[in-house]
């Protein structure tokens, strides 16, 4: 599994980086992301869910969101 530390970046850069990663990703591939920008912490999970990827939140603090998602696996519930 790959990891992108996007904490130094502000919106819209994290979303652009995730979109670029998705272009080369294959079904079943997983990515862990760390986000600190408030807009990105809201927008990226919503974007991934809209695309139908399964998201797992591994840790959320007031300053950072760490999540993992798998390409092509829908979120349950």
Q: Which residue is it, tokens 């007031």?
A: 62
> pLDDT tens across 38-76, in order?
999 999 999 999 998 888 878 999 999 999 999 986 555
Q: What is the pLDDT of residue 17?
A: 97
pLDDT class for 22, splitting at 50, 70, 90? very high
Q: What is the pLDDT of residue 75?
A: 54
Q: What is the mean pLDDT of residues 14-33?
A: 95
The three-state secondary structure class of 53 is coil
Q: What is the pLDDT of residue 57?
A: 76
Which residues are the active-site residues? 11
Count other C-beta atoms under 10 Å from residue 25's C-beta: 18
Q: What is the pLDDT of residue 35?
A: 97
Query: Contact at 8 Å (CB) between 33 and 45?
Result: no
Name all domains of the chain by residue range, CATH numbers in brackets. Answer: 2-70 (3.30.110.40)
């Amino acid at each position: 599994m790959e990891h992108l530390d996007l904490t130094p970046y502000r919106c819209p850069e994290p979303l652009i980086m995730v979109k670029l990663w998705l272009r080369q990703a294959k079904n079943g591939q997983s990515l862990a992301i760390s986000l600190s920008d408030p807009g990105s912490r809201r927008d990226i999970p919503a974007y991934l869910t809209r695309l139908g990827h399964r998201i797992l939140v591994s840790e959320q603090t007031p300053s950072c969101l760490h999540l993992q998602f798998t390409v092509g696996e829908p979120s349950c519930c």
